[in-house]
Amino acid sequence: MTFTITEIDPVYGQYRFTPDNGQHVQLAAAGSVCRIDFTVDMLKMPDVDWKPNVDGLQTVQVADSSVVADNSLTAFGRGTSAGVTALRNTPAIATVASPPIEIDGQINDTATVSGLFTPIPGATVTFQLYGLDDPTCAAAPVFTSTVALRDDFTATSEPYVVNAAGQLHWIATYNGDRNNAPVTGVCSDPSEISTVNRHQPAIATQSTVSSQVGYDLNDVATVTGLLRPAADATVTFVLYGPDDASCVTQPAATSTVPLVLDATGTSGTATAQPFQTTTPGTYRWIATYNGDANNAPVSGVCGDANETVMVTRTPIPTGLLPETR
C-alpha cells in the first residue's frame, strides 16, 4: 500500500500519511501492526527528549491518533515508534595564533569553524591562553576570552599584552549550538603557539682612532633602546689583531664590563679594559651587549669603521739618534 505524505505543521515537522486511492488500513486482529517505512532528513535538533536519561536526544517519529473511515471512534489506534537517537552535527575547528612579537606587544588567536549544519545565531568561541611555563596547558589559563562567531564562521580573541619573553599556548573551543556539537583544539597544535621575543636594542661603538706600540687601546660602547634592562647587564669587548681582517684568530684581549645605565634606564655605556700593544698593525674591536631577560644580545661586526685602530711603531726620540760623522 502506498501513502501520500502531507505536511500539516511545518514548525514542528508534523506530517499526515494518507493511503492512496481511498484505501484504508485494515488490521486483521488485535496485535496486528501497520508499519510504514519512510525516511526523513533531520534539519535541526528536536525540542523534546523522549528519554532524558539516555545519551543523545531520543525522538519518537509517530505520535498521532487514527480514526476509522466514517470518523467514528469505534476503533482507535495509537502510533508507536522505537525512537531514534539524534546527535548534534560535529563541526571542525582550525586556529592560527598571531605571528611572533616583542615583549609588551599584543597577541591573539583566530579560529575558523567549518562543517556547521544549520547553525543557530549567537554561537560563541572561547579562547584560553596558557602561560610561559605551561607547554602542556596543565595549569589554569592566564587569559580567557569568549567572543561571538562571525557570519563568516570565524572568531578572533580579544588581545592580550605579554610582558615576558617565551612561548604561550592557545586552545580554542567552539561552544556549540542546538544543531552543532562543541569542538575544541589541542594544546600541542603548532599553529596555536604565540612566540614572544626579547626586545631588540641597538649598539654603537667608538674605539681609539690610532695609537703607537706601548700605548693603551680602549673601546666605548653605547647601548640604546633598552626595555627594562637588568641591573647587572654587561658588555663584552673582544680585540683582534694585529692584521686579522676577518676577526677569526685568537683575540689579543677580551674583557666583560658592567653596562652603566643613564637616568632614563633605556640607554647605557660601557668601556673596555685598556690593552697595551706590543706589536704594530691594524687592530679591530667587536663589542657585544650580552642581553638580559627582556633584551636580546646585540653585537657590532668585524671591520666597523669606528672599531679599527692603526698601531704604528713608536718613533725614536731625536736626541737619542746615533751620532754620525
pLDDT for res 133: 86
| Percent of the chain residues topping a pLDDT of 70 | 89
Q: What's the whole-number mean pLDDT along residues 261-277?
A: 96
Task: Tell me if the domain spanning 92-197 has CATH number 3.40.50.970.
Answer: no
The per-residue pLDDT for 121 is 93
pLDDT band at 190 (very low <50, low <70, confident <90, very high): very high
Domain with CATH 2.60.40.3880 in the chain: 202-312
Q: E strands, 131-271, where?
A: 143-148, 154-156, 160-161, 166-174, 183-184, 193-197, 202-207, 210-212, 216-217, 219-224, 234-240, 253-258, 260-261, 268-271
Looking at the predicted structure, is the pLDDT value of residue 158 above 50?
yes
pLDDT at 42 over 80: no
User: 202-312, what's its fold?
Assistant: Immunoglobulin-like (2.60.40)
* Contact (CB, 8 A) for 268 and 259: yes
- Residue 103 confidence (pLDDT): 96
Which cell goes with 223?
647601548
DSSP secondary-structure letter at 152? T
Average pLDDT over residues 154-181: 96
Least confident of 10-14, 61-65, 208-212, 230-234: 61-65
Write down the mean pLDDT value for the chain. Answer: 88
Q: What's residue 319's pLDDT?
A: 57
> Which comes out higher in pLDDT, residue 243 or 206?
206
C-alpha cell at 22: 481511498
Distance CA 84, CA 63 (A): 14
**Residue 324: what pLDDT?**
56
| Range in 174-178, 293-297, 311-315 the model is least confident about | 311-315
Is the predicted pLDDT of residue 132 greater than 50, yes or no? yes
CATH 2.60.40.3930 domain extents, the chain: 92-197
pLDDT of residue 67: 45
Judge whether residue 17 has pLDDT over 70. Answer: yes
Q: What is the pLDDT of residues 212-259, one digit of tens each?
A: 999 999 999 999 999 999 999 999 999 998 889 999 999 999 999 999
Q: Give the pLDDT band of residue 315 (cuts 50, 70, 90).
A: confident
From residue 101, how far is each of 6, 44, 95, 144, 303 by CA, in Å? 62, 43, 18, 20, 31
Residue 28 has pLDDT above 50, yes or no: yes
Q: How far is CA 89 from the centre of its chain?
A: 27
Determine the average pLDDT of the residues in 175-198. Answer: 95
pLDDT bucket at 76, cuts 50 / 70 / 90:
very low
pLDDT given for residue 82 in this prediction = 61
pLDDT of residue 66 exceeding 60: no
More confident residue, 203 or 37: 203
Mean predicted confidence (pLDDT) in 30-49: 76
pLDDT at 202 over 70: yes
**pTM value surpassing 0.85:** no
The backbone torsions φ and ψ at residue 191, rounded to the nearest 5 degrees and listed phi first, read -75, -5
